[in-house]
Structure 1
């Protein structure tokens, strides 16, 4: 039985969920693909752990056993991985640690499943080119909508169509805040405080509330699905921090719902992308996309319009999207047992 060694960088909340699910699914991988899948290494920002024989949940949870300094290039050069799950914190301005991890892994002919957005938002085209030259996979579902199907829908399910437009709610935090404001007729500050209390919004929520998270995800989707070179920092972008209580009262009176939407539109032979605060009336499919839920609407020339709603924000949903990518790596690059 062939071994498939997995490493995880950026071993935080999402990374731990990925490891948990991988270990739980080991019998499935053996039965379906005849692969012995093992987690052989994990690292965070300051320490890591490697064992070629494989790590179980107990060892992964024992932080005292981690080696200080076993991170960055030292980790990548030491871990005997076939597949890397990358889930470092997002830095869309420089790519952060994720860019170094992904680049190094691809150069070493390691398949990469990216969960962190920053490196892909900054350098998807060049990373994709390296992956193609090295004949390895670069997967990105977890970075481009998490549990909401986005990139696969466009690249595979609708590949035979000309897509004229895509609109998507891909940031759960902003949808929670806007839903709270409209439900309770409260201010942005009050809704944000509640979201932070529930653990939905970060202590510094600006990545989400200023529209950057949506911009990163839409840039990744646009560049990967349509071959564009959209730059996040040049994208027209709105956020929600400027929404006032007066706005909320006016929208409630007009029976419309505000939604922060990433938009991709066909313009001649290429595509443009933007992030907009849109007002949706009762006839709009996004009107009832409430709370943590996300949604995507795609318009095509041959198959009509598609709307998918769901994929609410949660760590297991993001991990599940990454595990879907892993299944695709196994299915696409190796012959499954029927």
Structure 2
């Protein structure tokens, strides 16, 4: 089965995804009967488009890594063309959306996803912005058009947070979800606990290692965890939560004394995103929690992540791992593409 892809966004994740498609093309074809080809790559200045067949990805990657813009690839470049125009006119089956997350208005990802659905394409997205801000509108449009939106790469990337809840727990009622969904904050709290260093020192180390951004506010203030939690809760519980529905408290105010106090009680401090029922109402929270040592999330350290589902018939099911990286995000995109084809 051939799938022509339109890739919007060619930053770290987009380029890593392109390399992964090239490297694993034969394995995916042999194992899943799926022939993936990238028909177009859209970036900020235009696009490279193969009207028939596939783009020469090796050549495009070398071109971009040598400083050339996507839209100047000889024989395939279209300067100034928009993502919507490519999505509306090119014959393809799936949009792979990897443009930068924009939590102000969700653009340009929202325009790309809307154009793709209206043109009969399925969507695989690593971009949280449009999904967090316009979840119900986009999911309803997908349903109306008979298309699907896959978002593993937007919900903790390599950690199969949605797969567990949607597939592995099918038939069970989910009673609660708890997750360590941000590797940066988990790294900082782990270093503070294990090495006795201050929050500031642990943050500097995370930045030096490339784990934390120069501006770490999205992570340390709890907003990245909040955004992932909104998407997970909406998909698992079929809700329409927005960012304003989540009570958020980050780790900026955590001191060494807080870590020691939790330790003296035999507990471990973690930043946890949770969806739990209180008097039959589902409540979403992001907050530092002192976890008992037998809690399945308490032993997850450094930049690893984890999610734990409590159910009525399958008990508690927990999955851990999935360090954040462009490779992990690209792998989640590839996984969703495969699932689109084999899970109808």
TM-score (norm 1): 0.92
Q: Does the 8 Å contact 1:114/1:138 carry over to 2?
A: yes
Aligned to 1:336: none
Aligned to 1:54: 54
Aligned to 2:163: 152
Structure 1 distance, partners of 2:322, 2:58, is 27
- 2:193 is the counterpart of 1:182: yes
Distance 1:33 1:301, change over 3 A: closer
Structure 1 distance, partners of 2:270, 2:199, is 14
Structure 1 distance, partners of 2:173, 2:70, is 50
Structure 2 distance, partners of 1:45, 1:184, is 43
Q: 2:202 aligns with which of 185, 191, 203?
A: 191
- 2:124 is the counterpart of 1:116: no
Aligned to 1:41: 40
Q: 1:66 aligns with which of 70, 87, 100?
A: 70
Structure 2 distance, partners of 1:129, 1:61, is 39
Alignment of 1:217-228 (within 5 A): 217-228=228-239
Aligned to 2:253: 242
Deviation at 1:310, TM superposition (A): 1.3
Deviation at 1:270, TM superposition (A): 5.2
Aligned to 1:12: 11
- 2:162 is the counterpart of 1:171: no
Structure 2 distance, partners of 1:22, 1:330, is 16
Structure 1 distance, partners of 2:300, 2:69, is 44
Alignment of 1:278-293 (within 5 A): 278-293=289-304
Q: Does the 8 Å contact 1:226/1:271 carry over to 2?
A: no
Q: 1:14-56 CA distances to partner (integer Å, 9 max, x unpaired)?
A: 1111111112222234334544321111122234211233122
- 2:61 is the counterpart of 1:86: no
Structure 1 distance, partners of 2:280, 2:143, is 24
Structure 2 distance, partners of 1:7, 1:127, is 18
Q: Which runs of 5+ in 1 are unaligned?
A: 334-338
Q: Does the 8 Å contact 2:259/2:268 carry over to 1?
A: no
Distance 1:272 1:22, change over 3 A: same
The alignment partner of 1:223 has SS state of helix
RMSD: 1.9
Distance 1:204 1:65, change over 3 A: closer
Q: 1:151-189 CA distances to partner (integer Å, 9 max, x unpaired)?
A: 121122112111111101111111111111212212222
Q: 1:89-120 CA distances to partner (integer Å, 9 max, x unpaired)?
A: 22223212211111111111111001111111
Q: Which runs of 5+ in 2 are unaligned?
A: 72-78
Distance 1:117 1:34, change over 3 A: same
Structure 1 distance, partners of 2:279, 2:136, is 21
Structure 2 distance, partners of 1:268, 1:79, is 50
Q: Does the 8 Å contact 1:23/1:39 carry over to 2?
A: no
Aligned to 2:76: none
Deviation at 1:257, TM superposition (A): 1.8
Structure 2 distance, partners of 1:175, 1:107, is 40
Q: Does the 8 Å contact 2:161/2:307 carry over to 1?
A: yes
